[in-house]
Amino acid sequence: MNLEDRVIIITGASSGIGEATAKKLSKHGASVVLMARSKDKLEKLRDTITNNGGKAIAVSGDVTKSDDFKNAVSDTVKAYGKVDGLINNAGLMPLSFVEKLKTDEWDKMVDVNIKGVLNGVSAVLPELINNEGGDIINISSMAAHAYFPGGAVYCATKSAVKMFSEGLRQELAPKYGINVTSIEPGAVATNLTSTITDEDIKEKISGMQEMKTLESEDIANAIYYALTQPKHVNINDVFIVPSEQK
């Protein structure tokens, strides 16, 4: 199936999973709205997509600011006349042991990983209800299923995203035809670990570099799969991990 006439907002679109997803969906006909803080990277990606025959606009914004999300939705409606879906991809993972009390990093994870998702849903939901259908895809993590060293706060935020997604599905899918999916990847080759400042954690995760991790394109493929199901089919969860990961 292609995604012709579908208009989808993607957060964290300037790199990694967001960038790969934007390329994948635009290749299959979707009009993608690229949202992130890095305006230069967004515009470069937009130009790449449009030069390859796709449709894209760049909207710089911070997911922790509800007004930025509202502006992104407004710009989307101005450009394409509607919104059909949202991919809440933006996230942070500054792992640390709790005893280090890196509370500033805890706050950032809560703001981006949880509040950012809430801001996106609150901004987009009125449009999807008006459309009588659409898709919300939230990027959770395998961390929603099990704790790993230094991940107490991160795992908690991703558990919140997984449960919020299920609550959304039960409330929105039967009543409004809005399908909701939680994507839960294992280790992915992105820059997510670049925010880690706890040296003890860096040492512990160094072994993961020897493992063949998932690529951003693998997650983009999972998102595409969820979006291209018949409307009466809701893919609740996609739990996808590297073959070597335990």
Q: Which positions are annotated as active-site residues?
A: 154
How buried is residue 153: exposed, middle or buried, by Cβ count under 10 Å (0-12/13-18/19+)?
buried
Amino acid at 30: A
Residue 133: how many other CB atoms lie within 10 Å? 16
Give the span between the Cα atoms of 243 and 35, in whole angstroms.
31
Taking the C-alpha atoms of residue 53 and residue 29, their distance in angstroms, rounded to an integer, is 9
- 138 contact partners, CB below 8 Å, separation of at least 6: 88, 117, 161, 162, 164, 165, 180, 181, 182, 183
Find out whether 218 and 242 touch, Cβ atoms under 8 Å: no
CA distance 201 to 106: 15
Distance CA 74, CA 76 (A): 5
- Residue pair 167/118 in contact (Cβ under 8 Å)? The answer is no
Tokens of 132: 């009588």
